[in-house]
Structure 1
């Protein structure tokens, strides 16, 4: 009997049944997509670890826990969304259910038959949704593989397993059943008379006037705002999902744009005239021969061979500049500390250039090529910030000065003398970041011979500048041909890094856009649920408007204003939150606001906004057709909204 009743009800309420089936299909497709993507990410991670460690296994890692958390959040959001849809549908039948209870149906029977009806209605859409999710997962992974192709050094293929399909199917069924069980349980507990007479619209207490909306949109704006306020509980999930998706998407795009500007300034543009190729070679013989061969290659404008060693020295106060001594040197820099003898212990990098490059460096700076050159400036971090750095001298420029270097990793190698015969304010034109908080030294390969025993090196760096970036690929191939197969080296290209950085950022944008789209789909689905599921209630609301003289055109205006409020409110809220967020990020990155405005992600945000508005608008359009085509007299007679 219950099965026949359920089937008859489904046939007689095709619109509501199709809507509930569509919600179930969407939720199962999303869950199947998420499970499939996670499985591929996990397999990819296991494979990448196996490339580095052959004994690596697919053990559970923190990323799994993070993904399970995300999956739980998505399931909860879908549960709330589907719950709202089932609750609206079941509430519209309370009068009939009350009659069944008065005829002898028990609460358990009512609950069982409602869940049975859900299974009859949703099992086919769930299965179809899971299969569709597999297809979506395949398409999504193929797109990810294509987008990340330029930044990967290994092959990626799509993976899927029957266990994942079974887990997706089980998770979808459980999600739908829990969503339906919650309203079914509440309804089954109602007394028969309460169920029969149920249908009165809930009273909204303390409804405040919305003068701003009245000013902007007239009476239609105030009616729309009050209607949304009265239904805020039903719209809670959609509002939260849309807000989270918009906030995450817009915040990520803004921060990514700031990061891109910062990377261009602090790396690519900063070193654009200093290097095009960087060859790093482990200890090797005949390093000077390789230097000459690289310089002779077609397309190479210049090549600097240098080494970087780390030393330390104890400096007495009479060597230090008076302006520096006036400061609290103990907290001035983490690379300077006071020792027990009243001196100051400096940790300092030393750059060893090949003799020809060192001579050119001294000539360009107007320095003496004898001895060592000291980059004699330090950032005054006490009286200036990182954005507007001010520098003061470290040493008194009384030449020559002799420092006694120490190797902190080799305690037996102490007090190796080095003579400073020149002072400057900048490093050579090489790919090295200036250490703002300590003293840096630049010496020649010839001077390094006296330090070699105490300060051995592990790597040679060949800083290569090309005549034109068009020679990039040819020079790389020629350099690789110069190196033997046994050589351990790394060859970097600024042009390749710049392209890879752009590709990686595009991949991150796509991934973040997909995540935001997933969240927004949950919110949009809930908008459809609340809009289409409440057609009966809203028919009565608009019938009252018609009875007091509101025209159909006015009804459409109300629905249009509601569309704008539901769709734009999350976007506006996210933009307002991003104002201080972007301001703080710009201040930290030392980027002018006008520069960010030029690179601001306006088009992606507009596309996302139009997607939200068009989706919400479609839901209200479909609901509006049903609402506006109703007969006013019949609706006003029906006080139970059956």
Structure 2
């Protein structure tokens, strides 16, 4: 070790406080990078495990492959595990009491299939031969048909067939509920073969079976040796390596072997950061680049300030080195060496602190998510060698960039200037000139405070820069998280209920009341719907409809399709409170028919694949909307009446789905519906009940046990998966915001407190010429205001630009308008002044205790 480096280490030891402040700054920065990387990888790893636990582990599915094609898939170098399966078909369930589930659904797996998919045996064992059967315990619980282990079961297995409007047969699968109309069942079961089985086990209802499926799943064994040349099966593959080339490789394999259909487990693959959707891939890459850039800038600013202040303090020390012959290179390397020493100490500690911090956070989070929404997997600390290497590289690069400018500055300082300490402050009359308006408005203390900032321009700029970075970090990340959550909600089906119930019974209201009173029903709404039309002025139509055929206009108006929905009294009162409208205005008692218009539509664009949110109509509260009943056979229209628009909203009540482009959702009371719709059209009104339940399967069973023709559509699994993802994403993003906020506050405190400490001589001089404690406090307060205003003037515009870039990145996969988060901006404005004031007062309180003589003698800390 050369003499300069030895002196650098000695200087670090002698100035323990400054060294400690610098080390803490670097530790915080490294911990931030580590925490963000670990939080991201741990969240994705949790979602992978949760998806596998519910849906099974697989990556690629080759459908309807013959024996030769199956061999090609099996021998492919990318294949790690191969699941062979086949949907044998449906059979009538003798003695079934559930009108919506009249079938048994027979599916067969090879041995690997029983391992890869979540199948929980509650009694007995798995099938080991083609004539053995594993049945679902749901048959006994819901269908009231009892099967025992050892029972023989002989069934006629066939395909569910429905004839479409063109007279062609459509094969239905488990994703399609039982097809019925007013006259009864519209599908048929075409028998293909007789199968006999021995029941060897009973399993819990598979998690991957849709709740609305018309058949109870039963499983048997598929013997690969018995597959004939012309037989077709499904080949589900678990890959050796999950990377972005898997899509191309699978498609090439399918093309080479003439496999007509290949599918991917997109839900699982997206948690690996993989997608074959180019728009979504662009979105992910763009967002990752923007967020990493923001984090890097925040880290660099935090560490740069620490080293910049360090070099400012060491200027006399560097001048002394220069006076005894130290070259520019030696002085520059001295700063680089200090950075290396700080890095060697701080990076390991920062990584450990980041991991410990996230680990402790996960302990608290797991207590929340374990019992919530059926999340079965724990959030565990996922640390990969790659993430640690990346953290180290980013941290070392950050330290190098942070020390580069201070090192250049150190190499250029002359011995005389450094010893006299004249490089930081170079005064001219113009430099410290202030407006007389400041003095008249705020007093002499404000003017002195502003002159102090101008005299210490670099320290002032460093503090303002820290504040600007903190503002950008908070606003960018909070905007990012809120938009990601909005995008996720937009990409989901908009389902806000567990069960939909409909019926053809005459006593609909009494039946719905009975269902709503079931013990597990947590929330419900029943509604009545009728499809109507309206003619809207050309200037008021949705932007997407501006590209229309002139022939579709009638007297300068465009025809809209109206879904008129009447909510029950209790649900309408709740909905009115939620959107801020007077419920009594909607009852029609005043003689006016008033309605709530949902003026926002949400849909997936078929051409671009984007999830879109747009205005459905451009109108105002108080205007009227004409309603017509149209006979679609004759085209005749019957003018019903007009409704007055009482409120415009983008909030959908439970059970109401977006009408789509060219459509409009109109919400009214039951009284207004009766006033609008004439008696001859009453048969066109359809009634539905929507429920949220604490136990959806149990509720479904109780509903199906009721007498009458009741259609139950249970989508709790879909809703559960969506809410799990939203919950976990919320935990992730709000944890991220909390982390960024703490880092920003630490950054500001570090910069301001160090800056104040360096001004001890200056404050001692002001006291020596008569500044009172009150005047000193006023000066500090005004400096805080100047800091806050200057940082907001720079920080807010830059933040809006960054937020717009994030918005544009999301627009590759989504389409909704850019909205400035005014509430977050208000939080930032308040937070900046509060944090700066607290930091200034905290730091200055220590300076106040200093003796004036000692302060004037003070050279450095």
TM-score by length of 1: 0.62
Q: State which of 280, 289, 294 in structure 1 corresponds to 2:500.
A: 280
**Aligned 8 A contact 1:28 1:172 in 2:** yes
Q: State which of 359, 366, 379 in structure 2 corresponds to 1:157.
A: 379
2:296 match: 75
SS at match of 2:619: coil
Provide the rounded CA distance (Å) in 2 between the counterparts of 1:296 and 1:248: 50
Provide the rounded CA distance (Å) in 2 between the counterparts of 1:190 and 1:102: 11
- Mark the CA change 1:444 to 1:35 in structure 2 (over 3 Å): closer, same or farther: farther
Provide the rounded CA distance (Å) in 2 between the counterparts of 1:167 and 1:179: 18
2:461 match: 233
Deviations 1:584-636 (A, max 9, x none): xxxxxxxxxxxxx9x999999978865554345434444x268656625535x
2:517 match: 299
Provide the rounded CA distance (Å) in 2 between the counterparts of 1:237 and 1:600: 20
Matches for 1:69-148 after TM superposition, within 5 Å = 69-144=290-365
1:356 match: none
**Aligned 8 A contact 1:30 1:133 in 2:** yes
Provide the rounded CA distance (Å) in 2 between the counterparts of 1:601 and 1:341: 44
1:243 match: 471
- Are 1:176 and 2:399 counterparts? yes
Deviations 1:412-465 (A, max 9, x none): xxxx348877835579x995479796799899999679xxxxxxxxxx973259
1:218 match: 443
Q: State which of 521, 533, 539 in structure 1 corresponds to 2:743.
A: 521
Matches for 1:18-57 after TM superposition, within 5 Å = 18-44=20-46, 46=48, 54-55=58-59, 56-57=268-269
Provide the rounded CA distance (Å) in 2 between the counterparts of 1:75 and 1:108: 28
More strand by share: 2
Q: State which of 609, 623, 638 in structure 2 corresponds to 1:390.
A: 623
2:783 match: 562
Deviations 1:215-250 (A, max 9, x none): 565322222233234433222322203433675699
Deviation at 1:110, TM superposition (A): 2.5
Q: Report which stretch shifted further, 602-611 or 385-394.
A: 602-611
2:688 match: 462
- Mark the CA change 1:22 to 1:630 in structure 2 (over 3 Å): closer, same or farther: farther
- Mark the CA change 1:137 to 1:605 in structure 2 (over 3 Å): closer, same or farther: farther
More helix by share: 1
Provide the rounded CA distance (Å) in 2 between the counterparts of 1:347 and 1:6: 78
Matches for 1:419-568 after TM superposition, within 5 Å = 423=640, 431-432=655-656, 462-463=688-689, 477-483=698-704, 489-490=713-714, 511-512=733-734, 514-515=736-737, 518-519=740-741, 521-522=743-744, 524-529=746-751, 531-532=753-754, 535-536=757-758, 538-551=759-772, 554-563=775-784, 565-566=786-787
1:185 match: 408
- Are 1:339 and 2:551 counterparts? yes
Provide the rounded CA distance (Å) in 1 between the counterparts of 2:19 and 2:539: 76
- Are 1:207 and 2:432 counterparts? yes
Provide the rounded CA distance (Å) in 2 between the counterparts of 1:24 and 1:376: 59
Provide the rounded CA distance (Å) in 2 between the counterparts of 1:278 and 1:45: 22
Provide the rounded CA distance (Å) in 2 between the counterparts of 1:216 and 1:174: 47
Q: State which of 809, 832, 838 in structure 2 corresponds to 1:614.
A: 838
Deviation at 1:378, TM superposition (A): 11
Provide the rounded CA distance (Å) in 2 between the counterparts of 1:114 and 1:577: 31
Deviation at 1:24, TM superposition (A): 1.7
Q: Which consecutive unaligned segments of at least 5 residues does structure 2 have?
A: 60-267, 275-280, 487-495, 567-586, 600-616, 645-652, 667-676, 706-710, 800-821
Deviation at 1:125, TM superposition (A): 3.0
Deviation at 1:132, TM superposition (A): 0.7
SS at match of 2:381: coil
Deviation at 1:182, TM superposition (A): 2.5
1:16 match: 18
**Aligned 8 A contact 2:624 2:642 in 1:** no
**Aligned 8 A contact 1:280 1:489 in 2:** yes
SS at match of 2:336: helix
**Aligned 8 A contact 1:243 1:574 in 2:** yes
Provide the rounded CA distance (Å) in 1 between the counterparts of 2:371 and 2:831: 26
SS at match of 2:462: coil
Provide the rounded CA distance (Å) in 1 between the counterparts of 2:530 and 2:790: 55
Deviations 1:241-266 (A, max 9, x none): 3433675699999x99xx9xxxxxxx
Provide the rounded CA distance (Å) in 2 between the counterparts of 1:206 and 1:245: 31
**Aligned 8 A contact 1:524 1:616 in 2:** no
SS at match of 1:235: helix
- Mark the CA change 1:308 to 1:424 in structure 2 (over 3 Å): closer, same or farther: closer
Q: Report which stretch shifted further, 29-38 or 228-237.
A: 228-237
- Mark the CA change 1:49 to 1:112 in structure 2 (over 3 Å): closer, same or farther: same
SS at match of 1:233: helix
Provide the rounded CA distance (Å) in 2 between the counterparts of 1:332 and 1:238: 45
**Aligned 8 A contact 1:245 1:520 in 2:** no
TM-score by length of 2: 0.48
**Aligned 8 A contact 2:540 2:619 in 1:** no
SS at match of 2:380: coil
Aligned length: 526
2:806 match: none
**Aligned 8 A contact 1:245 1:517 in 2:** no
- Mark the CA change 1:483 to 1:604 in structure 2 (over 3 Å): closer, same or farther: farther
Deviations 1:466-505 (A, max 9, x none): xxx9xx6589843343349xx9823679xx99xx89x979
Deviations 1:102-124 (A, max 9, x none): 43333333222332233334422
**Aligned 8 A contact 2:463 2:748 in 1:** yes
- Mark the CA change 1:187 to 1:482 in structure 2 (over 3 Å): closer, same or farther: same
CA-atom RMSD, angstroms?
A: 5.9
Deviation at 1:516, TM superposition (A): 6.3
Q: Report which stretch shifted further, 438-447 or 80-89.
A: 438-447
Deviation at 1:160, TM superposition (A): 1.7
